[in-house]
Structure 1
């Protein structure tokens, strides 16, 4: 219970004899402190019970008195309270005063000898009250903590959450009663760590213990759900969550967490899954029934539609067939009579009628949305202007046709043939609506549709659209007609004058084009139909792309295999390809095609989809399983967008619909043949690259030494062992190091090469270990060293014997501890790289003379690969020379010269002090037309080298010979050539020396 502020800090004074109480009272009053005088011990206890900051008691008031009530009051103080008492005495101090024993009984006592100075009393009171205030603050914190714990416990109880604490060192578990109940235990039952683990269901124990151990080891939060077994054998689900508490050493000292029983949730989830499974089955059955009824309804509607359609289109088809049959019959008769004059007009008549029939079929399929669109960029103004003459002829003289074209019209994206058909249909409808004449306006303009408009229409997105509008001032349409205008076969025209498909096909065309069509009409005033087509987002000039390309013919065994069961279509396709000198052969079934196509088939396949037995789609699947790069072109008599998309997704090269022109067939075939040829070239190049990337293609040589070297590389490459490569200058030490990297599990990480002999000693530490910003003069920013750059990869140290001895110690520490410190930093950076070192010296001998640290030598020398000099494997010289000659000829874009007997003899007899590097330089000179062993700078007079090539060849030879004389020592070679060491190092890298 809190004590009011004034009472809690007052001083209670008990000095019954003399004037001490009055003096103390006056001193404290003048100092601004509240004080109360008690006349006896009973009154003192009473006042202290009401609240006080301290008590000032004269020792004579306690002598020969019953102080038990005072001692009881002091002993009953709460944990936070320790009442300060100032005991006024006459002499002796705290140790020798007769009242010293009383001080031990009262506890928190301070002695004040009389007579006392007022300042002394005030100082003691100030100190006592300061301590008392701290006690009050501790009380407040304890009360807050108690209230907080109470709220937490209430919240845990409300949420049925149990709490627990696991001490990491001794695995001591402390848990609440609710947690025990989650494991089927009563409040009085013991439940320790072993009981906890034993309660976990055996199938979940490995997962639970792994998660718990991970939290104890790493400090990550523990979040896991698992089953536990209650003492009665029943199973329940529990959700356990905890957070790690770390000690001062940074290690996890304990886990504090909560548990919750989720058995009901798990049971609900299980029931929900079963319900979903049952629901899916019920929905599937219901859907199947609805689908069956829809099929029946759709079939009846189709039968009704066929009846309506017959009267509308039979007349048109008969007219077209009459033109085709009549023209062919006349041609046959004239040929029988030997008359070939004017056959072109009859042929044109037949072709025109056939094209009209095909166009009608195309429109019918477009109406049914089974005809795929050939969408492309369309300049609508150009299309309308091109149709101006046709439109003028389609309307009578009493109708005035106006074209209003927007000057800044966007490019539309649509099928131009379907767009022409839609425009013609709209103009004819407008003509029929004005039997007595009038004005017909064809207009184009740009329109932006916002979301408020598109949301009211299905499958229409906001954005830019190009609008084709056809308006008339004819009779107009009532709402009842407008509502059915897009219905198939609905027409207000007499039988035989219309099929009722015009606006339906326009509606289908707009939806397939991701556009929109609208009708606005008023009876007696006219009608406006607007067709919205999406704006083309690509480059406008794509609309004018030509399909003409350089002719590609079947060659090198390439064959066009045509799979078609209709002999007339098969013959037509073969003849069309033969006219373009494209070889082809035909089969009538997919089974025959599979027998014909072997593993080495180099051609392409053109197949009909509808075939007896295996259809074209299945044939496509089987052919792609054999050879994924084989182009397969599918053709069909009535394809739709879905079929085309599925075919292309399954790997078809192209998709053509009948009827198609010979030009279309030839164009697709040529492009497919071209792709086939490119694919086979890529395959051949990949095969060559694979052979070149093999170990035999990189470490060239048939000698026993090279065969043994390749075997060692194979055995060592995929290990983490450090490797030391020993060999003379030019024997290919870096190539071997790269092979060790490329054939290891580190191949996808960095291969970092460092030539220790090419670095100045002052730069070596920064180059290999890196440095922080401002670590030394000129270090403007942080630099990652070679070792850190090779993390997870391979570090190659060439000429390792040149490394300064003082830095060898630092490198040894990095290899041992797998950490490094950048120059200017005290922070360790973890590194994991494989170290491959190379030397042309005897490191063992150098270590014995203290020129190279022996401990670093043994660390690097886990595995030793010795590269023999070229003079010791002469059987490899001609093979290596031929390899380098081919590479050099390819580099200089020249035909490789023939190797004569004299040059071969010189190659075999030469001592090759520069080893493989010298051999490569000789091959490059020979590829350039220079004598293989002629002195540097003496180019043969009969060779016509360019100035740059001659300078390059001279410089390469000069540098190579200087390096040979110096034994590969860059410092000595740079002094001999009068060239800076860094410049020489750059040129060595440039020429691959």
Structure 2
């Protein structure tokens, strides 16, 4: 925006008489303003047409002159211009000078009466020039605004955006020609607010009007797309967007917005949507056809695989059943003839065949991934050497078996049973690949797999692996066979000679073990299968220990309850437990219902249950038993090793999970561990019961003397009342313990118990500590502090050594007790408080009140109920009981066995005067628990007995403080916490005794 400089500040002077024009020009020149003198009215008009800041005209120049050219110039000024004129007169304004009345015709006129002071003229010129400059600035802004508006209109036209303005008060709509075209109107057509609403398609009218009204009411932006109806009946889509303009009152005064025609976009979206729907339908139909064909193919493959599987399994099981049935039949015949020679060999034959059947079942479960692994450290060389004889017998004489064991082989981590099965499978496959004989090599070695190798295989991590390799020089396999070698049921053997599960089981075993298996083969040259198992990272001695038949003896009537509906399995379990666990009783029931009847509230044993039972199954039985007793160990048995079922059972609280067939050793091991856990759980329960009993009043207020029995009765009687209590007793008799019992056995037990030692606070801090203060109530009070009384609201306030409370504050405490309100220091606002006050004293408050050392009215307020605690020397029958109690606590604290109390120590305990009362007795018990003499010197008892009461108290106190300071290394804070004494009190006593 450009602003003319000199042109806008130039003054044109018309003063034809005398030297007025020269004087005015000189004054303006000295003031720094440019001035030009016009000799007549015609020249004045000419100069003003060229541009000027103001005109200075003498009134005589206008009299008897034709001023029409000047008036025409003034009337032709643009809207931004208002030429300032200074009219010099002789007799003031229009009221005194008739010629000055022409000022009304000239417009922006200022009168200057002659004679005038130069400063007056300069002031008028400065004001006029300043106003003229603002006019030129306004002109420049209007020009910029006009240019900006032009650019905006061009942009709107280029984007085919129509603009519109809606005045909120009168709903007056002003819109551009493009907006009219969006509604099918021509430029010359009128288009008001009613026309706008009428053009909206009837289905979209409620939505559009609601959005428009919301913008007018709340000022939110209007953003909406809707259909409108053109005059010819056709439909089009418009996108309307607007922003609210608010007036000075904060209400919406108008909406300014734009419109755009989105009909083509909507038509394209509709067409695309229809195409997508058609395409999705076509894809769905083709997918359905493909899925149907895949189901048919998959079903045929399943049937083929099942045929191969059942043929192989039937062949293998028939062989095994032949051995079992044949052995049993031979045994029956020999027993019928009375011949019992060589029965062991026939029994061994039957057991071997049964074990082979069980092994086949485990291989089938391992293939189905439903056989859990029992991974542990495995010395692979030892395992292979142990199987040497079995492997030799598995191959014929034409095959030469070689074992190549690495000397420094790492320990592997795997399931040894599955590893044995995998090795046997690999050897048998290698044997079958060499029908005419050859060399079979079993090799072990260490291998490090880097990331470049493991990245090519899923779920395989880089690191150390132990490799078991089985190689043959037989017929080999083509690539087509290698690619399918690990597929379930795939076999190249004749029907009945293989199940196709061997390599598939090995593949699954390797993945479950976080390892890898690979095949390298060439037709006519042989095959090598390598099984990679991760290196064991733990200690080598973590291998499973062999079964030990150490008997578990029942100490608390433990019983093993077996729930099994198969009588043969039940009998076998009971016999196995009877042989290994001598004094453990085992019972058997055939249903969960019978088990629930048998197990009562005091059942001390464990439960072993089959999952599949008639009626309630084992999982439901587990749930019901855990609801009764969450610590009862329940072991579940299943004939189908489902890992998911095992995880769910363990999550629901099962102790362990066994799958059939299981060995007697496994049953005994699980039973032993379950019984041990049961014993620990019942021991914990017993300890918790003891703790609960200890929390009772008898467990906290210890003593069998009549005085203590009466004290417990009084506490029971007044604990659950709101009465204030005064506890009297010497130092160390347990006044705070009694106060806590009064709180814990009252209805206020869930609220605060706030203890305050009145003798441990300086008088200057006492008022703030007990009543609280507001921020800035005194120097150093940076923020509000809640006092002890307010903190004990709805609870109990314990005031120990209440006789030490300053007398002036006793009045304030009495007012709080009476009115149940307090005022914090520095505040005039009352705060309601409801707390029970328990006070304790070692002095005679009645005597102190008579000597005005304690207020008698406060004494009577506190002394509603009085509990007197006798000193320990007056209830000596409680000394040994208390000492045993403290000795047990100290032994637990120091993690030591409680020492035996000898006769000499007992005698010393009973003869000691106990000036420190129960607190001194506890410290003596702690010394004794640490193996130190109960009393430091043999003469301590007699020495203290020879002292007066006050001297004995001081001697004991000095010794007690000295020992506490030694244990804390001179730390006053730690020592005060240990002694239960305020830090300030401890500091004063240290100074008193010179410690």
Contact 1:800/1:837 (<8 A) preserved = yes
Going from structure 1 to structure 2, the CA distance change for 1:961 and 1:405 (only over 3 Å counts) comes to closer
SS in 2 for 1:99: helix
- 1:688: Cα distance to partner? 3.1
Give the distance between the partners of 1:223 and 1:864, measured in 2 at CA: 81
Contact 1:80/1:138 (<8 A) preserved = yes
Going from structure 1 to structure 2, the CA distance change for 1:789 and 1:167 (only over 3 Å counts) comes to farther
Contact 1:577/1:583 (<8 A) preserved = no
Going from structure 1 to structure 2, the CA distance change for 1:730 and 1:938 (only over 3 Å counts) comes to closer
- 1:786: Cα distance to partner? 10
Q: How does 1:245-256 map to 2 (within 5 A)?
A: none
Contact 1:372/1:639 (<8 A) preserved = yes
SS in 2 for 1:712: helix
Going from structure 1 to structure 2, the CA distance change for 1:283 and 1:104 (only over 3 Å counts) comes to same
Give the TM-score, by structure 1 length: 0.61
SS in 2 for 1:795: strand
Going from structure 1 to structure 2, the CA distance change for 1:952 and 1:687 (only over 3 Å counts) comes to farther
Give the distance between the partners of 1:205 and 1:898, measured in 2 at CA: 99
Partner of 1:108: 108
- 1:219: Cα distance to partner? 20
SS in 1 for 2:174: strand
- 1:667: Cα distance to partner? 0.8
Contact 1:936/1:958 (<8 A) preserved = no
Partner of 2:178: 178
Going from structure 1 to structure 2, the CA distance change for 1:724 and 1:654 (only over 3 Å counts) comes to same
Going from structure 1 to structure 2, the CA distance change for 1:323 and 1:849 (only over 3 Å counts) comes to same
Contact 1:553/1:673 (<8 A) preserved = no
- 1:492: Cα distance to partner? 1.4
Moved more, 218-227 or 43-52: 218-227
SS in 1 for 2:310: helix
- 1:475: Cα distance to partner? 3.1
CA deviation vs aligned residue, 1:765-804 (integer Å, no higher than 9, x gap)? 9999999999999999999999999999999775577578
Moved more, 753-762 or 52-61: 52-61
- 1:313: Cα distance to partner? 3.6
Contact 1:410/1:535 (<8 A) preserved = yes
- 1:417: Cα distance to partner? 1.5
Moved more, 611-620 or 142-151: 142-151
- 1:676: Cα distance to partner? 1.2
SS in 1 for 2:260: strand
Give the distance between the partners of 1:537 and 1:893, measured in 2 at CA: 35
Partner of 1:674: 676
Contact 1:55/1:86 (<8 A) preserved = yes
CA deviation vs aligned residue, 1:179-225 (integer Å, no higher than 9, x gap)? 99999999999999999999999999999999999999999999999
CA deviation vs aligned residue, 1:590-633 (integer Å, no higher than 9, x gap)? 11111111122111100111112211112112211222211110
Moved more, 415-424 or 654-663: 415-424
Going from structure 1 to structure 2, the CA distance change for 1:417 and 1:924 (only over 3 Å counts) comes to closer
Give the distance between the partners of 2:563 and 2:178, measured in 1 at CA: 76
Partner of 2:389: 389
Going from structure 1 to structure 2, the CA distance change for 1:773 and 1:346 (only over 3 Å counts) comes to farther
Give the distance between the partners of 1:447 and 1:251, measured in 2 at CA: 82
Give the distance between the partners of 2:197 and 2:811, measured in 1 at CA: 50
Going from structure 1 to structure 2, the CA distance change for 1:397 and 1:973 (only over 3 Å counts) comes to closer
Going from structure 1 to structure 2, the CA distance change for 1:397 and 1:617 (only over 3 Å counts) comes to same
Contact 1:577/1:666 (<8 A) preserved = no
Give the distance between the partners of 1:437 and 1:470, measured in 2 at CA: 16
Give the distance between the partners of 1:946 and 1:396, measured in 2 at CA: 106
Give the distance between the partners of 1:356 and 1:438, measured in 2 at CA: 27
Contact 2:887/2:926 (<8 A) preserved = yes
Contact 1:367/1:508 (<8 A) preserved = yes
SS in 2 for 1:95: coil
Going from structure 1 to structure 2, the CA distance change for 1:645 and 1:118 (only over 3 Å counts) comes to farther
Contact 2:915/2:952 (<8 A) preserved = no
- 1:560: Cα distance to partner? 0.5
Going from structure 1 to structure 2, the CA distance change for 1:881 and 1:482 (only over 3 Å counts) comes to closer
Contact 1:753/1:795 (<8 A) preserved = yes
SS in 1 for 2:165: strand
- 1:569: Cα distance to partner? 1.0
Contact 1:929/1:943 (<8 A) preserved = no
Going from structure 1 to structure 2, the CA distance change for 1:348 and 1:736 (only over 3 Å counts) comes to same
SS in 1 for 2:555: coil
Give the distance between the partners of 1:795 and 1:186, measured in 2 at CA: 90
Moved more, 111-120 or 272-281: 272-281
SS in 1 for 2:162: strand
- 1:557: Cα distance to partner? 2.2
- 1:974: Cα distance to partner? 13
CA deviation vs aligned residue, 1:387-439 (integer Å, no higher than 9, x gap)? 56655665567767676778887765432221222233223323433445666
CA deviation vs aligned residue, 1:107-157 (integer Å, no higher than 9, x gap)? 999999999999999999999989999999999999999999999999999
Moved more, 311-320 or 237-246: 237-246
Going from structure 1 to structure 2, the CA distance change for 1:798 and 1:361 (only over 3 Å counts) comes to same
Going from structure 1 to structure 2, the CA distance change for 1:99 and 1:315 (only over 3 Å counts) comes to farther
SS in 2 for 1:940: helix
Give the distance between the partners of 2:951 and 2:206, measured in 1 at CA: 71
Give the superposed CA RMSD: 11.5
Contact 1:757/1:970 (<8 A) preserved = no
- 1:553: Cα distance to partner? 3.4
Going from structure 1 to structure 2, the CA distance change for 1:378 and 1:979 (only over 3 Å counts) comes to closer
- 1:501: Cα distance to partner? 1.6
Moved more, 590-599 or 500-509: 500-509
Give the distance between the partners of 1:445 and 1:6, measured in 2 at CA: 103
Contact 1:931/1:940 (<8 A) preserved = no
Give the distance between the partners of 1:518 and 1:716, measured in 2 at CA: 84
Contact 1:765/1:807 (<8 A) preserved = yes
Partner of 2:431: 431
Moved more, 123-132 or 901-910: 901-910
Contact 2:474/2:527 (<8 A) preserved = yes
Contact 2:12/2:52 (<8 A) preserved = yes
Moved more, 721-730 or 599-608: 721-730
Tell me, which stretches of 5 or more residues in structure 1 are unaligned?
none
- 1:680: Cα distance to partner? 1.7
Give the distance between the partners of 1:836 and 1:167, measured in 2 at CA: 77
SS in 2 for 1:923: helix
Which of residues 868, 872, 895 in structure 1 aligns to 2:870?
Answer: 868
Tell me, which stretches of 5 or more residues in structure 2 are unaligned?
none
SS in 2 for 1:258: strand
Give the distance between the partners of 1:911 and 1:226, measured in 2 at CA: 102
Moved more, 744-753 or 184-193: 184-193
Give the distance between the partners of 1:928 and 1:170, measured in 2 at CA: 98
CA deviation vs aligned residue, 1:490-531 (integer Å, no higher than 9, x gap)? 221234443322112123323444555444444345444444
SS in 1 for 2:18: coil
Contact 1:930/1:939 (<8 A) preserved = no
Going from structure 1 to structure 2, the CA distance change for 1:541 and 1:963 (only over 3 Å counts) comes to closer
Give the distance between the partners of 2:190 and 2:74, measured in 1 at CA: 39
Partner of 1:945: 947
Going from structure 1 to structure 2, the CA distance change for 1:913 and 1:98 (only over 3 Å counts) comes to farther
Give the distance between the partners of 1:256 and 1:852, measured in 2 at CA: 84
CA deviation vs aligned residue, 1:880-934 (integer Å, no higher than 9, x gap)? 8997687578779999999999999999999999787578779989999999999
Moved more, 110-119 or 466-475: 110-119
- 1:57: Cα distance to partner? 8.0
Contact 2:245/2:255 (<8 A) preserved = yes
Going from structure 1 to structure 2, the CA distance change for 1:456 and 1:718 (only over 3 Å counts) comes to farther
CA deviation vs aligned residue, 1:13-43 (integer Å, no higher than 9, x gap)? 7878888889998999999988888899999
Question: Do structure 1's residue 634 and structure 2's residue 642 form an aligned pair?
Answer: no
Contact 1:741/1:794 (<8 A) preserved = yes
